[in-house]
Amino acid sequence: MADQLPYKPRQGEIPTQPGVYRFRDAAGRILYVGKAKNLRQRLSNYFAPLYTLHERTRRMVTTAASVEWTVVGSDVEALQLEYMWIQEYSPPFNVRYKDDKSYPYLAVTLADEAPRVMVTRNRKIPGAKYFGPYPKVWAVHDTIDLMIKVFPIRTCSDASYKKAMATGRPCFPGQIGRCGGPCSMKVTIEEHRAIVDDFVAFLAGGDERFTRELTRRMREASAAMDYEAAAVYRDKLQSIDAVLSRSALVLAEDTDADLFGIAEDELAATVQQFVVRGGRVRGVRATTIEKEIDIVGPDLVDQVLQRTYGDAAAADIPRQVLVPVLPDDAGELEVWLRERRGRNVSIQVAQRGRKAELMRTATLNAQQALVLHKTRRSSDYVTRTQALNDLQDALGLTEAPLRIECYDASHLSGTNVVTSMVVFEDGLPRKDQYRTFNVAETTDDTDTLYQVLMRRLAHLDRPEREEEPVPEATDDGEVVTTRRKPRFAYPPQLLIVDGGQPQVAAAARALRDSGHEEIALCGIAKRLEEIWLPGDDFPVILPRTSEALYLVQRLRDEAHRFAITHQRRRRRRDISTVLAEVPGLGEARIKTLLRHFGSVAKLRGAAESEIAELPGFGPKLAASVHAHVSDH
């Protein structure tokens, strides 16, 4: 693969103004849309040497055949245009959201003659006041059941209401005490409207006024020995307490905010949005994001806010947005939100106090949701079975690949070449059987894979070496001695290599030369996640939602992670070995140097005075360290 992309613009062609850029493939399809305050500075990151790019970013730029840009007048206009194009084109390499399901809301139809309270997922009812969203439908129904005991408003359908008002007979919910509208024949339309106003005011955060009023009435009734009325007020207070226990006071009463807790890894991110109104958490919304390119921290927050508020009504945009880290264009996002809301909006990081505590709670929920998302896909027996069966069908195997080994070759600028081997059995990782292979001399990735596979496959032909006897007890208590086959001698049903046709060809040659062509082989390319088979001119394309593709991606990314982890440990060990030779430099001081500089290269470039400033170092020791690392 060439180190430079053929469509890279010439130096000076890209403007320095703000704008929106688009990567297209050879067919003209838009692959990725992004914005920039300085187009030249931003796009130069994509045209850096390919080996320095993140794996998924590299896959995007190598899939693309061209890049184009549109200059706009301001950073805010760039944000607006980026959002519009992402919505219009749905580029495959922009982040993908998994919250397409609609969340239930509690709605009060204020535009009706006699407003009703209802559970709905429709956010476009004219004149309706919405509360939520709620994570579960039953949570909305429970809230309504408790609330109508305190504020008896209409719950029946429009058809029931019209029939009751026309006939003068109470609606059926009214007959059983489940509807308090005028159709129950207990209140007038005007009286019912006043109760509805109290209902809305309570849910909007004015609960203390109602609690004080009910408490006063209960005490007055008790003092007047009207114990039945006092019991009614007591029951209403208990219902209010039950509602408030579901929505604990966490912030100041005038707080109107949305708070976002985010957890992420290389493949996915989860977002927990806490809707805080009147100082109380009025709703929670969970979102799962599947990443296609390397997007973390500020950029991820930027995308989340655009997604959340891009189509939101003005009333759903709060005064304050609390995030774990500020996006780079926080000022432009505030202007954009202010234009949509019609009033000021601030984006802040919750750093201390109760807001920070709530942020930790939201982040904890997001972390748990991320673990659950990954666990459900990987640990569910039905899902794993489906993935293995789909993989069998897609690759034309005679049986499901119960043992899969995946290989990834990695290096640092051509040095420290290492190949990782990860093992999945029954769709689950077997980390005790992971291996790494150091390669002393190699010409390229294909040669590396060939060498490693020849070394690994040689173990399949060696005579079985019996391990230590393992005693096992039979049902009758008799102890027998069995011998186990070494784990490394088990043949896989499927080998996966990280790469396309060249890497698959090298692996196929290793299988042929070692005499193990019975083992199935495929490669996963770093472009559009194509699956390549030996000798095929065209790849196998698995559906984007396929469990088989997710399994192969997990194997590939786990192999990549394991290789990088091994390299880091090896590099750190090499650094420690060099520093351990310095007289007077103990383990604690070596750790101090590693934490501060991270590598021998950076340490070599440091001045003696910079080393001497570290705790435990003086001019003499700093000079010894500097002299020693300069000689190596």
Confidence of residue 98 (pLDDT cuts 50, 70, 90): low
For residue 45, the domain's CATH number is: 3.40.1440.10
Of the given ranges (268-272, 313-317, 372-376, 492-496), which has the lowest mean pLDDT? 372-376
In a domain, 572, yes or no: no
Q: Quick one: what percent of the chain has pLDDT higher than 70?
A: 79
The tokens describing 324, both together, are: 């774990």
Last residue of a domain, one of 309, 342, 377: 377
What CATH code is carried by the domain that includes residue 485? Answer: 3.30.420.340
Spatial separation of the C-alpha atoms in residues 333 and 79, rounded to whole Å: 8
Domain contains 45: yes
Asked whether residue 404 falls in the same domain as residue 494, the answer is: yes
Residue 576 covered by a domain: no
Q: Are residues 317 and 453 both part of a single domain? A: no
12 vs 67: which has the higher pLDDT: 67
pLDDT, position 470:
47
pLDDT one-digit tens code per residue, 319-366:
899 999 998 888 888 998 998 888 889 998 988 777 888 888 888 888
pTM score, whole prediction:
0.47
Are residue 294 and residue 366 in the same domain, yes or no? Answer: yes
365 with 429, same domain: the answer is: no
Same domain, 310 and 423: no
Residue that is written with structure tokens 């780079």 in the block: 328
Is 8 within the bounds of a domain? Answer: no
Half-sphere exposure of 227 (CA within 13 A, CB side): 1
Question: Is residue 556, in this structure, part of any structural domain at all?
Answer: no
Please check whether residues 216 and 153 belong to one and the same domain: yes
Higher local confidence (pLDDT), 632 or 204: 204
In this structure, the answer to whether residues 273 and 124 fall within a common structural domain is no
Taking residues 218-225, report their average pLDDT.
79
> Do 418 and 433 fall into the same domain?
yes
Q: Rounded to an integer, what distance in angstroms lies between the CA atom of residue 42 and that of residue 48?
A: 11
- Residue 466 has a pLDDT of 47
Give the residue from 35, 59, 94 where a domain finishes: 94
Tell me: do 73 and 173 sit in the same domain: no
pLDDT (0 to 100) of residue 472: 47
d(CA 547, CA 389): 10
Q: Which of 83-87, 451-455, 579-583 has the highest mean pLDDT?
A: 451-455
Q: How many residues does the chain have?
A: 632
Q: What mean pLDDT comes out for the span 109-115?
A: 87
Q: In which domain, by residue range, is 316 found?
A: 256-377
Cβ within 8 Å of residue 431, ≥6 positions away: none
For residues 191 and 221, state if they share a domain: yes
pLDDT band at 473 (very low <50, low <70, confident <90, very high): very low
Within a domain: 149: yes
Q: Are residues 87 and 170 in the same domain?
A: no
Same domain as 400, residue 291:
no
Sign for the CA dihedral angle at 161, 163, 168, 169 comes to negative
Mean pLDDT score, 216-230 = 77
| % of the chain residues with pLDDT over 90 | 6
Phi, psi of 181 (to 5 degrees): -75, 180
How many structural domains does the chain have?
Answer: 5
| Mean pLDDT, rounded, of the chain | 78
Assess contact for 252 and 278: CB atoms under 8 A.
Answer: no
Final residue in a domain of this structure, among 94, 113, 144: 94
CATH number at residue 604: 1.10.150.20
